[in-house]
C-alpha cells in the first residue's frame, strides 16, 4: 500500500534529545525538516522492580517512561507524515540506546540507515551527517545495555540487603561504591598518618661584583644527598660549616621547553573548571550541555584529544592573526590507550567566535566556561614556552649547596593560557647572577627551618575525577552523576573544597568491604570497564559478560544474607533537651542535611533545626550570625534578627569572615528580570518625551 503524502508538510523528521538542540538545528535545516525532541530517554527499566529476567538469560524488560505518553503519541503521528525519520540523538552509547528505543516505538527498521550523528551542531556538521546516515550501532547499544543491566543487578540486589541489615534508604552502586571506598581509604590514610620531623637549610649568598643576592639549598656532601631529620643533625652541619668558604663548583646553562596541555576531554574540562572557575562537576556538565546545544562547542562527553583538520586550520589562522607566525605550532596529541576516539576533543565549533564577541549572548557562567574551552584549544596549537635555565653547584667544606634559576625567554602558549594544578602553584622566574667556576661567594646568612611531613590531601571533586580516570573507574559520562549520587546519599560531604566521608559512608563502606569485596575492588571494576569497552568494539557478547558476573555474585549474596548480622547505627545524642518531653534530642540526617529530633518518636514528634553560630557578631546590629544552607546546599551567613520584618536586621552574606574577622554583606545583584524591567521603563520614558 502506497502511503499518502501531503507535500505541504515537512519532508523529514529529525529527532534529537533536547528542545534547545532542536531549536538550534531547526534554524540550520529549514522548512523541509521538522525537528522534535525526545526529552532524553523515552523507554527505560521500571524503577519499581529489578526488570532483569535473571532466569531467562538476563533479558531486560523496558517500559515507556511515565509521563511521556503524549510525547510518544506526537512523535508517532509526526513520523507518519514524513518521507524519512532521522534519529539524531547524542553521539555516544547512551544516545545510541535512545535512538534504538525510538526506532522500536516508531516501527523503524533498525537495519535501515536511519541514524545520523554529529559531534558539533553547525551547518557543516549536521548537513554532513544527513549525507552520511548509518544503521544503528548494535555494539554500542549492547554496551549500554550491559552497563545498565550490571548496575541494576548490583543496585537492586545489594540495596534491599542494606535496608534489612543496616538502615532503610541506603543504596549500593557498582561505580559509586568504589568512589566512596577511595574517599574512605584516603581519610584513613590521613588519620593513620604519623608526621615526621625534617629540616631544611638555605644559604643566602651574594655575588661580590654585582652585589646580587640569591638563595642556595643544602644538598648534602659532594658524594651523597643528605636528609636532615633533627635539630641535633642540623646543629652538627652548622658547626661544620662555620668558617667555610662558599665556592662555585659547577655552572650549567641550558634551555627548557614547556609545551601546552592537550585540548579538553570530559575529565580534564571538569578538573580545570573546578580549579580555575570553582565549578562543581555537575554544574560544569550542565553549562557545557547548554553550550553544545546552542552550537558553540563540540560534544562534551569524550575522552579523545583529537581535533579535526578543519579545526586545526581555524586555530592556525586565529593564532597567526592574533599573535604572529612564531606563536603557531601544528600539534597532535596522543589519545590514551582504551580511549573512545569516536568524537573529537571538546573545542569551539568556530574559532572566529571569540569569547568577547559572544559575551552578551551568554550567561556569566557560560561565558567563563566557553572562554576556558576556547583558550585551551587555541593554546594547544601554539608554540612551546622557552626558558633559559641555570644550575649551580656551590661547595662549602665537605658540603654541597645547589641553586637553580630560570627566566622565560619566549612565552609561547603561556601568553594565552596556563594549565592549572591542584596546589595552585605558579611557576615564577628565579634569576641568578652570572657566576664563574671557582668564584668565591659571600655568605649573608644560613637560614634553618623545621618542618613536619604532611598527610595526603583529601580529594577535591577535580582530584577525585582525575583519580577515577587514572584507575579506569567509570567513563566520562559517569563521573558527574557518581559524585552527585554519593553526595546526595550523604555517604560523603563537602568540607570547603574537599570531600570527606560521613559516618554513614564509612559504615556502608565497611559492609561492602567485608561482604562484597569484588564490587568495590578497584582492579575488578577497571577490568569490568574494559569488558564493556570490548562489547562496544563487537569483541564479546554482552550477555556472556553478565552470565560470568552473576553466578559468583548470586552465590555471594545468598551467603551474606545468611551470615550478616543486623548493624545498629546509634544516633548522635545532642546536648539540647526536647522542649516537649525533656528527652535529649538526637541528630538525624534529612534531605537538606542534619537536624535535631526527639528520640521519643512516634509518641513525641518534635524536631528542630541545628543552629550553627559564628564567633563574629553582626556588623549591623551586634546580633549573632547564624550559618545556614540554601536548598542547593550552598552555605550562607545571616543575622539571627533577620526575620523579614520591617524592624528586623537585613544582614546576609555568602562569604564568611576574612582573616581580620570582618564579614561583608552580600552584594545585591540585578537579575535578568530586573534588567528587562529597567529597559522597559527607560523605553516608556523615552517614548513619552
pLDDT per position as a tens digit, 652-681: 888 877 766 677 776 544 444 444 443 443
- Residue 689: predicted pLDDT: 38
Contact status, residue 24 vs residue 121, Cβ threshold 8 Å: yes
Mean pLDDT of 193-212: 94
Contact status, residue 508 vs residue 514, Cβ threshold 8 Å: no
pLDDT per position as a tens digit, 122-161: 888 899 999 999 999 999 999 999 999 999 999 999 999 9
Residues in contact with 114: Cβ distance below 8 Å, sequence separation at least 6, in sequence order: 84, 85, 86, 87, 99, 103, 108, 133, 135, 136
Burial of 181 from C-beta contacts in 10 A (0-12 / 13-18 / 19+): buried
- Residue 687: predicted pLDDT: 43
CA distance linking residue 618 with residue 678, whole number of Å? 33
- Residue 140: predicted pLDDT: 94
pLDDT of 682 over the 50 cut: no
CA distance linking residue 306 with residue 334, whole number of Å? 8
Q: How confident is the model at residue 592 (pLDDT cuts 50, 70, 90)?
A: low
Of 33, 292, 299, 459, the active-site residue reads 299
Contact status, residue 511 vs residue 162, Cβ threshold 8 Å: yes
Give the β-pairing of 52-53 and 59-60. Answer: antiparallel
- Residue 544: predicted pLDDT: 95
Measured in degrees and rounded to the nearest 5, phi and psi for residue 312 equal -60, -45
- Residue 423: predicted pLDDT: 61
Burial of 297 from C-beta contacts in 10 A (0-12 / 13-18 / 19+): buried
pLDDT of 538 over the 60 cut: yes
Contact status, residue 651 vs residue 614, Cβ threshold 8 Å: no
Q: How confident is the model at residue 640 (pLDDT cuts 50, 70, 90)?
A: confident
3-state secondary structure of 496: coil
DSSP state string for 117-137: --SB-SHHHHHHHHHS-B---
DSSP assignment letter at 382: B
Q: How far is CA 63 from CA 4, 16, 44, 639, in A?
A: 31, 20, 6, 51
Q: If you search the block for the grid coordinates 559492609, which residue do you land on?
A: 511
Helices (H), 454-502: 461-470, 479-488
Query: Is this structure's pTM higher than 0.85?
Result: no
pLDDT per position as a tens digit, 379-419: 999 999 999 999 999 999 999 999 999 999 999 999 999 88
Closest to 375 (Cα-Cα) out of 297, 464, 289: 297
pLDDT of 337 over the 70 cut: no
pLDDT per position as a tens digit, 174-186: 999 999 999 999 9
- Residue 684: predicted pLDDT: 41
Q: If you search the block for the grid coordinates 588519620, which residue do you land on?
A: 191
Mean pLDDT of the chain: 88
- Residue 3: predicted pLDDT: 41
DSSP assignment letter at 264: B
Closest to 462 (Cα-Cα) out of 284, 271, 278: 271
pLDDT of 341 over the 70 cut: no
Mean pLDDT of 513-518: 91
Q: How confident is the model at residue 628 (pLDDT cuts 50, 70, 90)?
A: confident
pLDDT per position as a tens digit, 267-293: 999 999 999 999 999 999 999 999 999
Residues in contact with 388: Cβ distance below 8 Å, sequence separation at least 6, in sequence order: 253, 254, 255, 406, 407, 409
* Bond prior to 602 in cis (omega within 30° of 0): yes
CA distance linking residue 395 with residue 116, whole number of Å? 70
Sign of CA dihedral 513, 519, 522, 524: positive
Mean pLDDT of 181-209: 95
Contact status, residue 422 vs residue 459, Cβ threshold 8 Å: no
299 is catalytic: yes
Percent of the chain whose pLDDT exceeds 70: 92
Contact status, residue 519 vs residue 512, Cβ threshold 8 Å: yes
Percent of the chain whose pLDDT exceeds 90: 63
Beta-bridge partner residues of 577: 584
Residues in contact with 58: Cβ distance below 8 Å, sequence separation at least 6, in sequence order: 52, 149, 543, 546, 547, 550
pLDDT per position as a tens digit, 445-468: 999 999 999 999 999 999 999 999
Q: What grid cell was written down for 23?
A: 531549536
- How many C-alpha atoms does 175 have within 13 Å on its Cβ side? 28
Give the β-pairing of 440-452 and 197-206. Answer: antiparallel
Cα three-residue angle 679-685-689, rounded to 5 degrees: 145
Mean pLDDT of 513-526: 91
- Residue 336: predicted pLDDT: 67
Amino acid at each position: 500500500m502506497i502511503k499518502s503524502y501531503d507535500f505541504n508538510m515537512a519532508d523529514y523528521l529529525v529527532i534529537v534529545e533536547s528542545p534547545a538542540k532542536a531549536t538550534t538545528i531547526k534554524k540550520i535545516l529549514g522548512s523541509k525538516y521538522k525537528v522534535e525532541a525526545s526529552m532524553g530517554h523515552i523507554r527505560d527499566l521500571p524503577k519499581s522492580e529489578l526488570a532483569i529476567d535473571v532466569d531467562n538469560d538476563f533479558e531486560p524488560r523496558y517500559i515507556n517512561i511515565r509521563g511521556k505518553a503524549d510525547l510518544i503519541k506526537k512523535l508517532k503521528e509526526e513520523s507518519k507524515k514524513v518521507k524519512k525519520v532521522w534519529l539524531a540523538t547524542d553521539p555516544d552509547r547512551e544516545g545510541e540506546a535512545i535512538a534504538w528505543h525510538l526506532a522500536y516505538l516508531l516501527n523503524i527498521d533498525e537495519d535501515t540507515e536511519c541514524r545520523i550523528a554529529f559531534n558539533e551542531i553547525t551547518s557543516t556538521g549536521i548537513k554532513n551527517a544527513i549525507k552520511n546516515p548509518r544503521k544503528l550501532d548494535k555494539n554500542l547499544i549492547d554496551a549500554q545495555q550491559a552497563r545498565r543491566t550490571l548496575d541494576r543487578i548490583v543496585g537492586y540486589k545489594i540495596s534491599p540487603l542494606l535496608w534489612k541489615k543496616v538502615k532503610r534508604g541506603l543504596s549500593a552502586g557498582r561505580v559509586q561504591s568504589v568512589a566512596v571506598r577511595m574517599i574512605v581509604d584516603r581519610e584513613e590514610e590521613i588519620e593513620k598518618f604519623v608526621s615526621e620531623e625534617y629540616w631544611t637549610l638555605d644559604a643566602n649568598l651574594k655575588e661580590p661584583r654585582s652585589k646580587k643576592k640569591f638563595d642556595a639549598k643544602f644538598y648534602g656532601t659532594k658524594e651523597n644527598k643528605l636528609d636532615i631529620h633533627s635539630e641535633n643533625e642540623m646543629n652538627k652541619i652548622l658547626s661544620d660549616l662555620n668558617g667555610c668558604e662558599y665556592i662555585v663548583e659547577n655552572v650549567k646553562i641550558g634551555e627548557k621547553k614547556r609545551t601546552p596541555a592537550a585540548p579538553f576531554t570530559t575529565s580534564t574540562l571538569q578538573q580545570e573548571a573546578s580549579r580555575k572557575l570553582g565549578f562543581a562537576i555537575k554544574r560544569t556538565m550542565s553549562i557545557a550541555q547548554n553550550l553544545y546545544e546552542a552550537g558553540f562547542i563540540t560534544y562534551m562527553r569524550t575522552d579523545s584529544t583529537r581535533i579535526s583538520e578543519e579545526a586545526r586550520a581555524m586555530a592556525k589562522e586565529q593564532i597567526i592573526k592574533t599573535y604572529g607566525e612564531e606563536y603557531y605550532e601544528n600539534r597532535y596529541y596522543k589519545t590514551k590507550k582504551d580511549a573512545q576516539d569516536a568524537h573529537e576533543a571538546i573545542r569551539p565549533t568556530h574559532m572566529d567566535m571569540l569569547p568577547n564577541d559572544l559575551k552578551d549572548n551568554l550567561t556569566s557562567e557560560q561565558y567563563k566556561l566557553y572562554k576556558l574551552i576556547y583558550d585551551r584549544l587555541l593554546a594547544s596549537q601554539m608554540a612551546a614556552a622557552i626558558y633559559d635555565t641555570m644550575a649551580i653547584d656551590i661547595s662549602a667544606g665537605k658540603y654541597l649547596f645547589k641553586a637553580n634559576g630560570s627566566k622565560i625567554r619566549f612565552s609561547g602558549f603561556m601568553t594565552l593560557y596556563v594549565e592549572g594544578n591542584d596546589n595552585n602553584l605558579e611557576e615564577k622566574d628565579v634569576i641568578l647572577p652570572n657566576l664563574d667556576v671557582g668564584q668565591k661567594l659571600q655568605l649573608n646568612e644560613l637560614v634553618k627551618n623545621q618542618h613536619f611531613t604532611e598527610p595526603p590531601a583529601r580529594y577535591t571533586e577535580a582530584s577525585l575525577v582525575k583519580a577515577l580516570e587514572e584507575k579506569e573507574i567509570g567513563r566520562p559520562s559517569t563521573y558527574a552523576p557518581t559524585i552527585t549520587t554519593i553526595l546526595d546519599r550523604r555517604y560523603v560531604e563537602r568540607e570547603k573544597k574537599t570531600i570527606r566521608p560521613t559516618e554513614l559512608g564509612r559504615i556502608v563502606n565497611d559492609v561492602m568491604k567485608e561482604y562484597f569485596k569484588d564490587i568495590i575492588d578497584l582492579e575488578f571494576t577497571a577490568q569490568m570497564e574494559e569488558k564493556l569497552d570490548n562489547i562496544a568494539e563487537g569483541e564479546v557478547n554482552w550477555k556472556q559478560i553478565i552470565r560470568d558476573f552473576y553466578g559468583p555474585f548470586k552465590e555471594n549474596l545468598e551467603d551474606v544474607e545468611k551470615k550478616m548480622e543486623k548493624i545498629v547505627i546509634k544516633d548522635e545524642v545532642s546536648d539540647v533537651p526536647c522542649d516537649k518531653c525533656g528527652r535529649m534530642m538526637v541528630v538525624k540526617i534529612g534531605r537538606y542535611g542534619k537536624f535535631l529530633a526527639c528520640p521519643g518518636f512516634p509518641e513525641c514528634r518534635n524536631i528542630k533545626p541545628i543552629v550553627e553560630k559564628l564567633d563574629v557578631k553582626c556588623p549591623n546590629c551586634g546580633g549573632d550570625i547564624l550559618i545556614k544552607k540554601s536548598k542547593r546546599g550552598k552555605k550562607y551567613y545571616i543575622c539571627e534578627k533577620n526575620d523579614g520584618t520591617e524592624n528586623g536586621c537585613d544582614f546576609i552574606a555568602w562569604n564568611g569572615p576574612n582573616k581580620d574577622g570582618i564579614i561583608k554583606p552580600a552584594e545585591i545583584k540585578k537579575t535578568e528580570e530586573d534588567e528587562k524591567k529597567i529597559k522597559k521603563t527607560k523605553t516608556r520614558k523615552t517614548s513619552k518625551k
